[in-house]
Chain A
């Protein structure tokens, strides 16, 4: 390819214009060609104009008139067709370059050191990638087409004018150089005023922010006048700057127009005089005037392009400056090869890690961990144990000394090589949106891609996944998720029958114990752990329209509510729920799924209910629209007193709803007996979860301990029916929510551990990886490490809780960035040094 420029290696050093050169060159060449044709086509009508007037009209020849007009038409039609073509090509180029720029910038951002993200705000990164680069994309599309088209058009028209009459042409163009001098000068002033405007705008928002934060002080001192004066001063300054800025902008526009309109003045004067004297024919004068007028558009477009260029350069540079940090490590080896496979030997020698400000977090640490050996790093917070782990994980870059894995210096290793050989579980593992399974496979997938394999084909088997979730103690949780699945009617019918048979067996076995824990579906009682909808329906909807979520929109059901006298009560209940929820959660910034577990409002509906709540303050609900009443009814029907503690049902309301239940039964029996089958012990209930189906009721508590006990007692029956794997498989599909916020802290850590275990790396780095787990789970993980991993894989674990370190081969105690003692647990305890002090909780001295 010609014209392939030498680009700077770093994306942030590239100029905006370099993206033009790397854009689709074939398209750019095509674009130039189209532009050439367009320009020629644009001049053509002018010549036709002249001929129509002089030869056709002047010579009174109709045939020539038609002939030239035909040419004129063709030229005009093709000019607009070509203009569209130019725009289209331009857009394709611009959007391609924008996509290219976004991808490269994103790839660059991913590689930036962790310290960058400590200070960068996610909002800034989002707006840089999403909005700010978009301007640059538009610009790249225009960068060649606009100036070239317009300059060429200008030149072409100018040449045509000279061809018509050099004297007039020269006169009419004498003014353009003046514009070229004055406009940029004024633009400079305007830019300066613009920058000042931004600054004073910032001052103003700071001042307003202060007023809001300190309003009690203002009220206390009655300093209204003083504050008004301060604000007034800033506002006046802002006013002056804005005025200046706007005036400059108009000045630029107007002087442009002025230079433009002076053209015809000269033409009329001189051209008219020449025509009167017969030294210039009329057709030529008309053509001349048209051509001169046509100079205006390209000129204007050039000016706009100039403006646009300036703006996008400013914002492009701002974006690039923001990301002007280098990746501290190599991502991939220089020559393509499969990642290295290294033994789990870790050698650290005189390792120093210094952060800006001259603070040394590690002050010369040395240690060796043999392949298969397990080392625990202990010490007080801030002793450098996590820092050491993060240096080995290549997340921090150490300042001096050596740190080797399998003989390779970690700082020089490519990320892909290191990732192949270590499993790293950080203190606060990140769980991505998606299913549990996707999260479990995250590391394995990345590794398969690095090896050039298709992840879908080499995925670990279900058995292997189950083995790992059992090892980390996640099995019961996943089973629980699986048991929480709701089957729609017509799906998995074979499973459904098995569930019903488990129900009977389970009740005979556990019935007595369950009585305290479960609220059974009993006809004569109000169910506090079921929704209002389920309490009224009390059955399995066979007709889509009677699914709980469809009830608020079901006209027949609405009619029933009105007849049963329930609608007013439910609207009131809905209002209470909406108002309470908005009152409580309205002030919570970025409320995630956790905050919506105890309200019938769903996170995605919150904004709508916030708006509605403003209108609910008035006690009179009669002026609510039908849609708004529907929203309130929706909440009321979801309301489950046992779960949604922010409101409660009065006894009278409960008996009304119970009465409603029997009325509804009668009504359905009379009108549409097929639509709902009422709860029967022999039937599967499609609107309820598998667990509720097995229990034939709802658990009264959310307590994880109770859930675990219940799940454990169900397992045997599931195995008997050969259903266990199926349910676990369903559980693996559980969607964890953004940031995994539908999982508990312990579950997140277990997922992160399982993720690394699945990978079976030669070195496992655990940075307080079990800190959120209860003692039993922690002991289980420790036991797993001791029995299955010892001798096979190296483990370096940063440990805060000391009750689990007995099983480690070696313990290194750190203090103030140094290892102060190393040895087996017994040796160190016998020595009665630092470890002894840590374990016995005496903090030397006091």
Chain B
């Protein structure tokens, strides 16, 4: 973008450029105009989590979007008094899109298994940006709806038997 790289003052790729790259590749932000992605990437911050640190706790209000750049995370949920591991996340994984839009309580806990480097976009900053660019909200909503539809279709295709027995709980995309 700038010629100053030749002069060496800001030669390394800065966090902002890195985050912008990441953001452009995420389905949630795919439809967001570039000028807004720039602002969101700029407002994002890197944070390091030590093993055992929680990024999000189950039952607490999720207030940020996370993108894992380094390390491993564990997703757990309480069941019958003990934490059940749901899945592990590696570099490139992201979560918290719903949190950005809704800010509702989290159904899962996410903690670091090893030292983890994370890009964080806080909901408050996200909302301030979105309020200033009215075209963003419909774009996000569309990405979200597509995600929901794709998820349910995939689930139904993968688990035809469960569908028959648990049919009552499906139909999310009918919302």
Binding site for B on A (CB under 8 A): 516, 568-570, 572-573, 575-576, 579-580, 583-585, 587-592, 594-595, 598-599, 619, 645-653, 701-703, 744-745, 774-775, 801, 803, 846
Bound CA–CA A588/B15 (angstroms): 20
* Chain B 21-58 near chain A by CB (<8 Å), digits 1 or 0: 00000000000000100110011111110100000000
Contact B10–A583 (Cβ < 8 Å): no
Given contacts A588-B129, A645-B15, A774-B61, contact A619 B38 (CB under 8 A): no
Binding site for A on B (CB under 8 A): 1-4, 7-16, 19, 35, 38-39, 42-48, 50, 59-61, 63, 105, 124-125, 128-129, 132, 171
Q: Within the complex, which residue of A587, A775, A803 is in contact with B35, where a contact is CB–CB below 8 Å?
A: A587
Bound CA–CA A588/B128 (angstroms): 10
User: How far is the CB of B30 from the nearest CB of chain A, in Å?
Assistant: 19
29 contacts between A and B (CB under 8 A): A516-B50, A568-B7, A569-B9, A570-B9, A573-B9, A575-B4, A580-B2, A580-B16, A583-B38, A585-B39, A588-B39, A588-B129, A588-B132, A595-B39, A595-B128, A619-B3, A645-B15, A645-B19, A648-B10, A648-B12, A648-B13, A650-B8, A650-B9, A650-B11, A651-B12, A653-B8, A744-B124, A775-B59, A801-B105
Contact A598–B42 (Cβ < 8 Å): yes
Q: Closest B residue to A590 by CB, please name it.
A: B132
Pick the most buried of A573, A587, A619: most chain B CB atoms within 10 A of its CB: A587
Bound CA–CA A587/B12 (angstroms): 26
Contact A652–B8 (Cβ < 8 Å): yes
Contact B132–A589 (Cβ < 8 Å): yes
Q: Closest A residue to B175 by CB, please name it.
A: A846
Residues of A within 8 A of B8 (CB): 569, 650, 652-653
User: How far is the CB of A735 from the nearest CB of chain B, in Å?
Assistant: 19
Q: Within the complex, which residue of B3, B39, B63 is in contact with A584, where a contact is CB–CB below 8 Å?
A: B39
Q: Within the complex, which residue of B3, B7, B124 is in contact with A745, where a contact is CB–CB below 8 Å?
A: B124
Q: Is the interface of B mostly helix, strand, loop or mixed?
A: mixed
The 8 closest A-B CB pairs, nearest first, are A650-B11, A645-B15, A648-B14, A572-B9, A646-B16, A573-B9, A647-B10, A587-B35
Contact A645–B4 (Cβ < 8 Å): no
Q: Closest B residue to A650 by CB, please name it.
A: B11
Q: Closest B residue to A574 by CB, please name it.
A: B9
Contact A594–B125 (Cβ < 8 Å): yes
Bound CA–CA A598/B124 (angstroms): 15
User: How far is the CB of B54 from the nearest CB of chain A, in Å?
Assistant: 10
Q: Within the complex, which residue of B44, B47, B128, B129 is in contact with A701, where a contact is CB–CB below 8 Å?
A: B47
9 A-B pairs besides A583-B38, A803-B59 with CB distance below 8 A are: A576-B2, A588-B39, A598-B43, A645-B42, A650-B9, A650-B11, A653-B11, A744-B124, A775-B60
Residues of B within 8 A of A702 (CB): 45
Q: Closest A residue to B122 by CB, please name it.
A: A744
Bound CA–CA A584/B19 (angstroms): 13
Q: Within the complex, which residue of A576, A651, A652, A801 is in contact with B4, where a contact is CB–CB below 8 Å?
A: A576
Bound CA–CA A60/B4 (angstroms): 91
Residues of A within 8 A of B44 (CB): 645
Residues of A within 8 A of B13 (CB): 648
User: How far is the CB of A621 from the nearest CB of chain B, in Å?
Assistant: 10
Contact A774–B60 (Cβ < 8 Å): yes
Residues of A within 8 A of B48 (CB): 701
